[in-house]
């Protein structure tokens, strides 16, 4: 059986020359972001799970998994981006620097009176919209969330439970984004979206800054246990804002000594991979239903800020089938003896599934060689979500859905 993995190396990532500006993704800014979130009682650094058993199985020095299922009671990382962006909108309207805002201040009647009534609008498969709704509710504001067709009813209910007006549309993700934008323009709402285009860049940049928190925490956690910084990191990409935010932070913090980074996407929604494949530096779109298991990555149009950073700094791009994510869920959910369990959803686990695959399949040795992964490698993965749809999670981990053989037969 041929392993259905597409890989592109990016040798220009390590070459000198004009590159995308990453100064806005500095460690100093990451500290400001983290300090803002520290003012919330709900905040705590998410666990950094060490998996020595898996490391030995795969033949690498170490594997660490940042477990975002523990993020502020929301079971996913997204609130870091949209929460910081919404706070930045409020700071701008108040005429203060974001470093002056705290949870108490942003929740206060005085702040609400000063900024007036705001409706925040967004498109989401679930996690981002839940984060927007949570952040809006924190300050007594409204939110309207549009979800693409095929979205999980459980994720819809979770968004509505945070006080949002939320609905599932008959559109794909990118068309739902366009609907949200249209509504924001017609009704004076504030759109909070991590998809950036010319003329809509401030909020996506703030979202990317929020995402730096994960890498900032992880490096602190590694330092606390006197572990060396990672040599390799795998980053999931939807529109590329999360991947671009983390990549930009690493490029700014480490320079030429930054970890080797690989961007991972599903075959059915691989706009970053297609952009890299085109080879001309310009973003490319994926169209259609994008009905991938990895709902959080089902995005067809790159964030232009994130794409520019990934184009210039990421070392490789991978497009893979859905069963890779399902394998990752099973690997993390039923760990090697002695390793902690990590409950990881479809989009969260794809990097674990991919790492296992490329380290155990002889035919993928060329990827190991290109990425320089060997027995000395220290790998960092970020599980971006927990079981945000428990039914899907059980279907995969209990009943063995989405195996390699099953998906191959459907092709």
Which residues form the catalytic set? 78, 125
Residue 126 near residue 147 (C-beta atoms within 8 A)? yes
**Distance (Å, rounded) from C-alpha 228 to C-alpha 212?**
19
**Distance (Å, rounded) from C-alpha 265 to C-alpha 66?**
19
- The residue whose two tokens read 């089938």 is 321
Pairing mode, strands 378-383 and 165-168: unpaired
Helix (H, G, I), strand (E, B) or coil at 52: helix
Rounded to the nearest 5°, which phi and psi values hold at 131? Answer: -65, -40
Q: How many CA atoms are closer than 13 Å to the CA of 237, on its beta-carbon side? A: 41
Helices 153-161/127-138 angle, 10° precision: 10
Q: Which two tokens stand for residue 289?
A: 């239903």
DSSP 158: H
Q: Which two tokens stand for residue 75?
A: 């079971």
DSSP 150: T
Contacts of 241 (CB under 8 A, 6+ apart): 81, 194, 195, 196, 204, 207, 208, 211, 303, 305, 306
**Distance (Å, rounded) from C-alpha 205 to C-alpha 305?**
8
Element (H, E) at 33: helix 27-38
Q: How many CA atoms are closer than 13 Å to the CA of 327, on its beta-carbon side? A: 19
Q: Which two tokens stand for residue 33?
A: 């972001």
**Distance (Å, rounded) from C-alpha 176 to C-alpha 186?**
15
């Amino acid at each position: 059986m041929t392993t259905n993995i597409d890989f592109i190396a990016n040798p220009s990532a390590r070459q000198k020359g004009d590159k995308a500006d990453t100064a806005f993704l500095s460690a100093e800014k990451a500290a400001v972001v983290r300090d803002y979130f520290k003012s919330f009682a709900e905040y705590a650094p998410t666990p950094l799970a060490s998996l020595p058993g898996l490391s030995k199985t795969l033949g690498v020095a170490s594997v660490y998994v940042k477990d975002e299922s523990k993020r502020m009671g929301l079971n996913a990382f997204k609130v870091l981006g949209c929460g910081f962006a919404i706070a930045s909108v409020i700071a701008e309207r108040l005429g203060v620097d974001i470093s002056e805002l705290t949870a108490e201040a942003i929740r206060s009647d005085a702040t609400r009176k000063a900024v007036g009534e705001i409706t925040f609008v967004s498109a989401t498969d679930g996690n981002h919209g839940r984060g927007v709704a949570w952040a809006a509710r924190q300050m007594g504001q409204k939110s309207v969330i549009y979800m693409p067709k095929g979205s999980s009813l459980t994720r819809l209910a979770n968004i509505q439970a945070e006080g949002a007006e939320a609905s599932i549309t008959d559109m794909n993700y990118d068309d739902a984004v366009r609907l949200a934008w249209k509504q924001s323009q017609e009704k004076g709402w504030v759109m909070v979206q991590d998809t950036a285009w010319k003329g809509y860049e401030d909020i996506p940049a703030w979202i990317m800054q929020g995402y730096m928190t994960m890498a900032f925490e992880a490096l602190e956690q590694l330092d606390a246990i006197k572990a060396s910084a990672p040599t390799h990191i795998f980053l999931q990409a939807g529109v590329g804002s999360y991947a671009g935010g983390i990549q930009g932070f690493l490029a700014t913090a480490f320079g030429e000594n930054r970890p080797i980074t690989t961007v991972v996407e599903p075959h059915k929604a691989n706009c970053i991979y297609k952009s890299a494949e085109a080879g001309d530096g310009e973003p490319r779109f994926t169209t259609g239903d994008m009905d991938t298991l990895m709902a959080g990555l089902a995005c067809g149009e790159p964030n232009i800020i994130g794409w520019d950073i990934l184009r210039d700094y990421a070392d490789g791009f991978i497009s893979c089938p859905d069963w890779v994510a399902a394998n990752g869920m099973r690997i993390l959910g039923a760990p090697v003896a002695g390793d902690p369990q990590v409950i990881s959803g479809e989009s969260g686990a794809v990097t674990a599934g991919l790492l296992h695959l490329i380290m155990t399949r002889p035919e993928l040795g060329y990827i190991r060689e290109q990425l320089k992964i060997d027995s000395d490698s220290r790998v960092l993965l970020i599980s971006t979500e927990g079981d945000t749809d428990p039914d899907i999670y059980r279907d995969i981990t209990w009943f063995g859905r989405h195996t390699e053989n099953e998906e191959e037969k459907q092709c």
